[in-house]
Amino acid sequence: MTTKNHYSIYPIRHHGPGSARSLERALNAAPPGVLLIEGPADADALLPFFADPALTPPVAIMAHVQGQPEQAVFFPLAHFSPEFVAIRWALKRGVPLAFMDLPASVTLAQRATKPEEHQPAEAPSDDLQPEPQASTEAPADDLRSDPLAALAKAAGYPDFERWWDQLVEARGDDAAVFDAVSEVMTAVREVEITSERDILREAHMRTRIREAQQGGQPVGVVCGAWHGPALTEAVLAREIKNDAALLRTLPKVKAGLTVVPWTHGRLTMHSGYGAGVASPGWYAHLFDTSQHVSAAWLTRSARLLRGAKLDASSAQVIDATRLAETLASLRGLGLPGLGELTDATRAVFAWESDLPLRMIGEQLVVGETLGEVPSGVPTVPLAQDLAAIQKRLRLRPEATARELILDLRGDGDLERSWLMHRLNILGIPWGKAGYVSGSGTFKEAWNLRWEPEFSVRVVEANLHGNTLVRAANTLAASRARKAATLGELSGLLESTRLANLQGAARLTLGILDRRAANAEVSELLEALPPLARLARYGDVRTRSGDDPTPIFRTLVLRAGAGLPNAVQAMQQDAARTLQEAIAGADAAVQLLDDPQALTDWRSALQGLDATPGAHPLLHGDAVRRLRDAEVLDESAVQQRLAYALAPGGPPADVSDWLDGFIGQDASVLRHDPALLALLDGWVGTLEPEAFESVLPPLRRSLSRLEAAERRRIGEDLRGLERVATVREVNDDLGMLVVPVVLRLLGVKA
């Protein structure tokens, strides 16, 4: 809206491509001498970086409390955001440029004093939002959150941008467009209550506008449509004293500001962003495509589907385009919107599968674009160090998920592995460990995906050190000192060794050794698996460090010594937990394959087997493991079966012993024919009365198997019976067929 030659207001829709196009044309038609944009006033120092071609949206201005990086707010911008278009327009032409909204230092201070403001408040149009959270705004707030979309909905258009294109863009008179928007918003604000925060924001905007007007240059103001009526010349003159009084006592904190990469996914309203849009990828397409919007969109959709080996031909694109245009005509729309294109895609491409629509929704409608910022943007030292490492190792952060396979025998891949492990220690899971096939230990698989909130975590991690190695070492050492259990310490030791943090690894190993002397048996057992993996594979990954095998042996010896006392008079839940720890320890000993540890562990299991008061679950588990290790032969196992399952014993004890012996899920019977035969042979020796008493607990133990697995075990048992009955072979009878077979084969005797 243009009020006078020296002052113009451009009320826009945040992240609206139609608004962005109209704004650019209006600025070209009547260039202002000074341009003010809705945004945090203390971020002006960052504006020159937006002229750098290396800055690729979407990005966000991030402000955080110094020393408390978890207290952060964001001002997101996409390349189709009117604010971004205005910034680039002014920087390209050398027009003085500034933000005019409340400083981020004030916003952060308000959030600290009013914790409820961490949630979207009465005016969700506030672009400075905390870390994305679930939106709690009511439907009644939609008008203030996105007033232009509310107008489009009232006019019968579910898609605001299609409404804007048809009623606004086609006219080409941008000045009249902004006048009309301002007039409508003036009428709306007469019946809608303006929030307390918006009142403060608008007072600050007016103050900045008055300061800009003192230079005598024409001033242009780019603001959200809701704020336009509060920034007119009449209101500027009327509210001078009130604005000064409102802003006099505003709280402030010391804030740090930077620009961080953002994603289209974080621009969506579903992410909790109050000024978010439903389909940023679609809006980007609208902004970038001036002609044949529907055909271009459906062509992109077909190309995406073909890349996924799905059916999508050129003929289908033509059919879908015609169908979308027909749907728009039937619905009284001048142009197809996203709804019509989605319906056409479903009819032509999707058929009975929802996969095409899901792919298009994730990768096109929302999009997976990740922005970039130039290296010169002010940020914390840790972020600079991380960026340098990423550049050196040729690991570019991307919003799309991708798999990275590393060969740890090469120095480059080994350093990439260290990077992933160090970031995970710092709570920045850019890479998540994946599965790699093969039996070698020199490979690692990582699933990479960079999320915008990692930028906040990098700032938080900078409190522990200015470089990645120092920060990870410091944080790991702190966790080692605060660790509550040996299992936590051994897991941390494994992480530090895999990350090649030698200082933290030595400290953790020392603490683990000292605490092992007074640890409970369950803690000792839980600490064994990470140590075994580290002792077996650690040198492949880290190539240096102390050998954890001696402390592993010590833990096994101490656990074995304390195991007989630990299993006395245990409750069912405690016994089940200890059984899981024993299973993990047994697997760890087998993995390490250290003769001394194997001997000590088998002695511990023998001690458990010989303990009279041991819980039946643990006793049966120990018998099975000793049998698997060939410490107990079949006759010894038969004796223990007979003793544990003798008639007259408590049914619960019998069931627990069987659970331990055949495993919690009884699957061992499917994979160990010898054990199945052993159990079957013992059952066959029972007297009828004893069989009746053993049958209920035996059925309970086998009930954990799926029906198909129980059927297969029954078939295996029948096979065992057939093998047992066919003991004699009549050689003379078998030789009668030999001459016939030779003649069939053409062999002459």
Q: What is the mean pLDDT of residues 651-675?
A: 70
Which residue stretches of 34-103 are H helix?
82-93
Cα–Cα distance for residue pair 707/463, rounded to 1 Å:
56
Give the domain range for residue 229. Answer: 2-271
Q: Is residue 551 part of a domain?
A: no
Residue 531: helix, strand or coil by DSSP? helix
pLDDT bucket at 514, cuts 50 / 70 / 90:
confident
Out of 306, 333, 367, pick the residue that ends a domain.
367
Q: Which of 1-10, 238-247, 688-697 shows the lowest per-residue confidence on average (mean pLDDT)?
A: 1-10
pLDDT of 693 reads 72
Q: How far apart are CA 62 and CA 304, in angstroms?
A: 33
**Averaged pLDDT score across all residues of the chain:** 81
Q: Please report which confidence band the pLDDT of residue 240 belongs to, taking 50, 70 and 90 as the band edges.
A: very high
Question: Please, what is the end-to-end C-alpha distance for the chain in angstroms?
Answer: 111
Higher-pLDDT residue of 387 and 643 is 387
Same domain, 54 and 198: yes
Q: Is 502 helix (H, G, I), strand (E, B) or coil?
A: helix
Q: Average pLDDT in the 146-173 region? A: 65
- In angstroms, the CA 175 to CA 144 distance is 23
Is residue 473, in this structure, part of any structural domain at all?
no
Q: Is the pLDDT of residue 235 over 90?
A: yes
Band (pLDDT 50/70/90 cuts) for residue 129 is very low
Residues 593-599, mean pLDDT to the nearest whole number: 86
Q: Measured between alpha carbons, how far is 618 from 585 in angstroms, rounded to an integer?
A: 14
- 712 and 661 together in one domain: yes
125: pLDDT strictly greater than 50? no
Of residues 526, 564, 532, 537, the one with CA closest to residue 551: 532
pLDDT over 60 at 172, yes or no: no
What is the band of 554 on the pLDDT scale with cuts at 50, 70, 90?
Answer: confident
* Tokens coding 562: 């304390």
Same-domain check for residues 6 and 108 = yes
Mapping DSSP to helix (H, G, I), strand (E, B) and coil, where does residue 64 land? strand
DSSP code of residue 6 = T
Identify whether residues 116 and 202 lie together within a single domain. yes
Has residue 631 been placed in a domain? Answer: yes
Mean pLDDT confidence for 304-318: 90
CA distance 713 to 672: 11
Tokens 């905390």 belong to which residue? 130
- For residue 647, the model assigns a pLDDT of 64
Q: What is the mean pLDDT of residues 155-163?
A: 67
Confidence band of 736 (pLDDT split at 50, 70, 90): confident
* Residue among 140, 142, 73, 78 nearest 101 (CA): 73
Within a domain: 195: yes
pLDDT class of 276 with cuts at 50, 70, 90: low
Distance CA 506, CA 276 (A): 48
Residue 541, pLDDT > 60, answer: no
Are residue 265 and residue 299 in the same domain, yes or no? Answer: no
- 34 and 108 belong to one structural domain: yes
36-59: average pLDDT: 93
Position 605 pLDDT exceeds 90? no
Residue 499 lies in a domain: no
* Residue 183 falls in which region: left (phi positive, over 0), alpha (psi -120 to 50) or beta: alpha
Cα dihedral sign, 478-479-482-486: negative
Select from 489, 484, 525 the least CA-distant residue to 509.
Answer: 489
Whether the CB-CB separation of 34 and 220 falls below 8 Å is answered with yes
Q: Do 181 and 234 share a domain, yes or no? A: yes
| Total count of domains within the chain | 4
Shared domain for 220 and 108, answered yes or no, is: yes
User: What residues have CB less than 8 Å from 102, skipping those under 6 apart?
Assistant: 40, 41, 128, 200, 201, 204, 250
When mean pLDDT is compared across 109-118, 240-249, 432-441, 571-580, the lowest value belongs to 109-118
Report the share of the chain in percent with pLDDT over 70.
85
- The DSSP line for 173-205 is -HHHHHHHHHHHHHHHHTTSPPPHHHHHHHHHH
Q: What mean pLDDT comes out for the span 147-156?
A: 72
31-35, 105-109, 191-195, 622-626: least confident range:
191-195
**What average pLDDT does the segment 474-499 reach?**
88
- Do 12 and 75 lie in one domain? The reply is yes
- Considering only CA atoms, give the Rg of the chain: 36
In a domain, 478, yes or no: no
Note the pLDDT of residue 121: 32
Rounded Cα–Cα distance for residues 158 and 169 (Å)? 17
80 and 9 together in one domain:
yes
Q: Which of 464, 489, 510 delimits the end of a domain?
A: 464
Domain assignment present for residue 491? The answer is no
How far, in Å, CA of 660 to CA of 574, rounded?
14
CA distance 635 to 504: 51
Q: Which of these three, 338, 367, 396, is where a domain ends? A: 367
What pLDDT shows up at residue 724? 46
In a domain, 685, yes or no: yes
| Statement to judge: residues 100 and 241 lie in one domain | yes
pLDDT band at 377 (very low <50, low <70, confident <90, very high): confident
Q: Does an H or E element contain 626, and which?
A: helix 616-628
Is residue 136 predicted with pLDDT exceeding 50? no
- The reported pLDDT for the residue numbered 438 is 59
- Could you tell me if 293 and 256 lie in one domain? no
Average pLDDT over residues 267-285: 71
184 has a pLDDT exceeding 80: yes
